[in-house]
Each structure stands twice: as C-alpha cells, then as structure tokens.
Structure 1
Amino acid sequence: MVLKPDVITLGAPEVHAARRFYATALSATIADDGDSVNLDMHGTGQLELSTTERLAADAGTRPATSGFRGYMLTYTVNQPTEVKTLMDAAVHSGAEVLKPAKKALFGSFSGVFRAPDGAIWKLAAATNKDTGPAAETPLPTETTVILGVSAPKASKAFYEALGMTVDRDYGNKYIDFHPANTAARLCLMERGVLARDAGTTKDGDGFQSMVFTHTAESREEVDALLTAAAAAGGRITVTAAETTGGGYSGHFTDPDGFQWKVTH
C-alpha cells in the first residue's frame, strides 16, 4: 500500500480553453474523451482537466475558491533558454507572470506564471547557463507539485503513514518524496514560504481546484488507504462505494485539506 499521485486533476472554468493553453504553452500531449481532458506531461506526470463544478461535486465539496490555492506545479527543463521559451509561450497564450524568468537561488533559473485556469506554475532549470543548443520544443525532465502546508514535518508523517518514502528532508523548509514511475513528484513547503516563492500572498480559502487520484490495485486497497488516511489525521469526504461502470472509489483530504481520490 503506497499512495501515489497517478493523476493530478485541475479544475477549470472552461475546460477546452484550458486544453488549448496547455497544448500550446507546455506542449502537453492531449487525449479528449468528451467529458474530461487528459494531459500527458511527456512521461513525468499525468494531468487531467475537468470543470471546477464537476471536480468539486465528485470530491464532496463546494466549488467556491479565492486567493492562493495553496499549491504550485513545477515544470523542470534542461536549461535557461528553454525556461524563457516556455514562459513566452505561456504569456502569449494568456498566462499572468508572477515572477519573470531569471537567475534564482543555488545557481538555478526560474520563472512563475498563473495559468488562465488559476493554477500556478514554476518553470525551472537547475543551471543558470545554457550548456548546449536549446530544444525547439522544451520537454520536462520532471514535473512536481508542491503543497503549501501548515507544518511540513506533520504532513511528512501523514504521507509516510500512507506508504510514501521521503527523498529529501530539509525540515520545515522543504520535504519531498520519491516519485513513482511516470508520476509527478510530491513536495511539501510551509504555506507562507511557498506563496512567497510563487510571487503571491498566502491568503486564500475554499476549494483548491485540484484533486489527486491514486489508482488502487484492488477494492481492498481502496478501503485500506482510506482507513489509513483517517487514522493518520486526514478526513474521509466521500465514503468508498460503487461507481458508474463498475468501479469503486472514495475521497479523503490530508490534514491541510488537499483532496485525494482513491479508485479501482
């Protein structure tokens, strides 16, 4: 039993407008099944787009949201010119720049934008100097999602109780977990610190317009993860039950209110 973010679903006011944005700005590979839009981040994570109302209803909460949503997605590429290329494409497609692309801490290079759907993205390279020709279509080496939490060490304990293994642990500054194959990496930072890194304030409440999905191997694993989440300090928001089409799923939130769907 190891919890993992197999899919990250983002809520959007206009799904097909968000589809166009991500296809253009991040060159995401698109699969549209009519009800939702799947975004393959080139093997570094699986995203999905859904209407905010539908996503909230499925998670057993209300769709209202305001201010900082408490998370930031990071799209890591090889070198600075690729960060600039992606930032220009995002802005051209309607993104709002929160931090211009420039040299950052520890020899890195990054910029931050807010997508038209409201999600905040950081574009980053580990070096601030190009080491060779830049890719015409930059592809990610890793996709991460950073959660702004009240107490990173407590959140670490919660996710460890659900089977995740810590990779890097810098106490209350930054903690992340080993990613599963083809899944995004999950990271933790204190909410105020993350908001400053994103170029915004920490104020905000309501639905985060994001839900993680873990695909379980059995119905028993669905039940076990929900039980473990509740015991570790999470909250069951939708009790596990049969779904349309013969599936089985339930929802929980972590101690900071981030939504998870566990399904088989």
Structure 2
Amino acid sequence: MNSAIESLTLDVSDVTTAQAFYDAAFGLGDRLRLRAADAESSGFRGYTLSLVVAQPANVHALVDAAVAAGATVIKPVSKSLWGVGGTVQAPDGAIWKIATSAKKDTAPPSRAVDEIILLLGAADVLASKTYYTERGIRVAKSFGRSYVQFDTGTSPIGLGLYRHASLAKDAGVAASGSGSHRLRINGGLGAAVDPDGFVWAPVEAGASL
C-alpha cells in the first residue's frame, strides 16, 4: 500500500482568514489545505505539526513571520542539545513546531521548509503502531511505547506517533482536550479512522475548497 501523505486538511472557521495567515507565515502551498468547518473542539487537539528547516536563522524567520501574521508563541525559539526550535499556535488552533538540528547558520535567512512532520498523539502507541503496520505502512524507527517514526517514502509529509501526554508536554500545552481533531490526512491509506480518531481520506478528496 502507498504510505505517502499528499497533503493535510485543517478545519477552520474562516478559510479566507486562515489562508491569509498560512500564506504569510509558512507558505506551504498545496501541502496544506483548508476546509470550512465548525466541529466542536477544545484544548489540545492531539497532534502537532513540525516544520524542519536547515539552520537557526530559518527557525527565527518562520517564527517571526508566524507571529507577525497572528500566531501565539507557546515556546520561544531557544537552543537545546538537539538543535534550535520554537513552537507557535496558529489563530485556528493548530500547533506548529519549527526546528533545526543545526547549531550554526551557513547561509542567509530563508523561510524554506525542508520537511513537514505530522506527529499524532496516541493513547496506546503500540496499538496505533499495529493499526498502521497492518495496513502496510512500514516503521522506520520505534522506541517501545513512546515513539514511532513511519517510512512514508517520498511523501512531502512525514508521519510519527508519540504518547499523547508526552506530545502535549513537548508542545508546551496541557494534555487535556475534547472534540474534533479538526484534521484530515490525505494519503495512500484511503478512507480510514485510526484508533485515536484521526481521519484519513483518499488523495483525490484533498482538493482545495
């Protein structure tokens, strides 16, 4: 089975306003789609989106652009043992982590995004891992009941599982939340709903509205 994720669709209350934000903040093009929906949702939505970039200057450039466009800073950009990163929340509620493993800049600042990674919070990482592997999605890395990174081939969007509470802690928010994830994954898995309620749709269903 094709494990690639072609795009992600976020449910937003106002597509025009959300599109203006994402164009100004990240410029992800067709990799991110928007759909008008008012499904009930509160607190942590159970997932995060990471933008992986080449150097610290690019982290700052993207975070600054997102904040200027209306995002809220959850974690300011800072250095750590693994690199440099910061976390923001878009006006629609989606949580975005911008990060690089590089410690130094080697080029002028850019808002180029090397990779998008979708991390799903799982109540039971092993059960969710089994769900995906039984449907043909191979595992690239796995750390027991804590974390799984899947092999999504040449997909423009990577996929991983993280323990729900750990993912919320990493994002810098409380783990509690209820209602819709307000997210649809458009990819080779087809029409499906995983054990944690994340909805997949066939690629052809991911057209812009």
Q: Please report the TM-score for the alignment, with normalisation by the length of structure 1.
A: 0.73
RCO higher in 1 or 2 (8 Å CA, sep ≥ 6)?
2
Compare CA radii of gyration and give the structure with the larger one. 1
Number of aligned residue pairs: give it: 204
Q: Deviations over 1:66-125 (max 9, x none)?
A: 110000000010111110111111111100101001013x33111000001111000000
- Structure 2 partner of 1:121: 96
Match of 1:21 in 2: 21
Alpha-carbon distance in structure 2 between the residues aligned to 1:263 and 1:139? 25
Which of 199, 208, 213 pairs up with 2:186?
Answer: 213
Residue type of the alignment partner of 1:21 = F
Deviation (angstroms), 1:215: 5.1
Pairing 1:167–2:140 present: yes
Secondary structure, counterpart of 1:143 in structure 2: strand
Percent of residue pairs identical: 35
In the alignment, residue 51 of structure 1 is paired with which amino acid? A
Change (3 A) 1:175 1:215: closer
For residue 207 of structure 2, what is the aligned residue in structure 1?
none
Say which SS state the counterpart of residue 6 (structure 1) adopts: strand
Q: CA deviation at 1:263?
A: 5.8
User: Residue 202 of structure 2 corresponds to which residue in structure 1?
Assistant: 262
Q: Structure 2-normalised TM-score?
A: 0.91
Aligned mates of 1:134, 1:187 — CA distance in 2: 31
List runs of 5+ in structure 2 lacking aligned partners. Answer: 205-209
Which residue number corresponds to residue 48 of structure 1? 33
- The alignment status of 1:101 with 2:74, answered yes or no, reads no
Q: CA RMSD in A?
A: 1.6
* In the alignment, structure 1 residue 65 sits paired with structure 2 residue 50: no
Do structure 1's residue 110 and structure 2's residue 95 form an aligned pair? no
Which portions of structure 1, spanning 4 or more consecutive aligned residues, are displaced by more than 6 angstroms? none
Q: How far apart are 1:2 and its partner, in Å?
A: 3.2
